[in-house]
Chains A and B, each alone.
Chain A
Amino acid sequence: MKSLEDLKKMREEALKKVEMREGDKEYRVVVGMATCGIAAGARPVLNRLVEETAEKNYNCAVTQTGCIGMCVYEPIVEVYGKDGEHTTYVKVTPDMATEILEKHIGQGEIIEEYTVEAARSGQGE
């Protein structure tokens, strides 16, 4: 049974993690959660990102934004690095979200084939 008492322990654990990390989180992972995103399946993607980040303690904050203005590419996940560089992943599924965390956040490797640029050039062919 969960109770508000749990929060004390969770607070301690969260503080420990912050100390280990020394400072801000390195990445910001942003999910488009407007109606267009939600209709395209953004909710399971967001839920997966939160679950995996909690479980594996990835060095990122998971946040959301409204309409990104590219409804046909939803669900969209944007990854912002500390230096302001950013990558836009499109038509993201929960499993792709897991992979993005593993490769991009975990190892610093962009997954080119999932980016909006790849999707656009694929359409041009």
Chain B
Amino acid sequence: MMEDLAMHILEILMNSIHACAKNIKFIVQDSTINDKISMSVEDDGKGMSSEQVQKISSPFMTGRSTRKVGLGVAFLKGLTEQCNGDFLVESEVGKGTRVLASVQKSFIDTPPMGNLGEIIMECIQANEEIDYIFHYMTDTNEFVFNTKEIKKELDGVSILEPSILLWIKDYVNQQVNMIKEDEG
């Protein structure tokens, strides 16, 4: 199931959503020069104590009562270790959380990026009230997507309208691909 980076990041984004975040910032830095793909998710949700942060990457820590094992964070950490990358969680109770994960871009076991437009659509769809800034960067180019801007344009029409959601998915993927092609 976990065959691309986007799927892992979706888990991290979902954690931010469940932590009652109002604003989520999702940054992808895709750098050929540094041979590195870095992804960070920053939220203004309920945050964690330093004790919780320490435990978070162990596969036995979960906030879930219906299933014993939390997979999200531990899986991503494992992946970064396998792919010569780094993993870091910073959090403060009442302030928010930042999860940073990177992998070596050219490493043979590094999974493909996957469908970023789709995970962004799925996150937006989870809760209309949450705003997202998505920032995608390569060595020479960048693309910024901000749901606040979209909502302003929509002026009263819900961002959850299926036609709008589909447009967002395609728009994000189109912009990301354009930047990648530019890179050559």
Contact = CB atoms under 8 A, between A and B. Distances in A.
Contacts of A36: 66-67
Interface stretch (A3-11, A81-89, A90-98, A102-110): A3-11
Nearest to A6: B167
Given A64-B125, A66-B18, A14 B157 contact: yes
Interface string A1-36: 110101110110111001000000000000001111
Nearest to A62: B162
Main secondary structure of the interface of B (DSSP, over half): helix
B92 interface: no
A10 B174 contact: no
Given A7-B150, A11-B154, A64-B126, A51 B171 contact: no
B162 to A, nearest CB: 4
B168 to A, nearest CB: 10
Contacts of B167: 2, 6-7, 10
B11 A35 contact: yes
Give chain A's interface residue range (CB within 8 Å of chain B): 20 to 34
A35 B70 CA distance: 9
A63 B160 contact: yes
A67 interface: yes
A100 interface: no
A39 interface: yes
B61 interface: no
Interface in B120-173: 121-122, 125-126, 149-150, 153-158, 160-167, 170-171
B179 interface: no
Given A39-B1, A50-B125, A64-B126, A4 B174 contact: no
B149 A50 contact: no
A65 B166 CA distance: 19
Given A11-B153, A14-B163, A53-B162, A63 B125 contact: yes
A71 to B, nearest CB: 6
Nearest to A69: B66
A11 B155 contact: yes
A50 B64 contact: no
Which 3 pairs show the lowest CB-CB distances between chains A and B? A54-B162, A7-B153, A53-B162
Interface of B: 1, 7, 10-11, 14, 18, 64, 66-67, 71-72, 118, 121-122, 125-126, 149-150, 153-158, 160-167, 170-171, 174
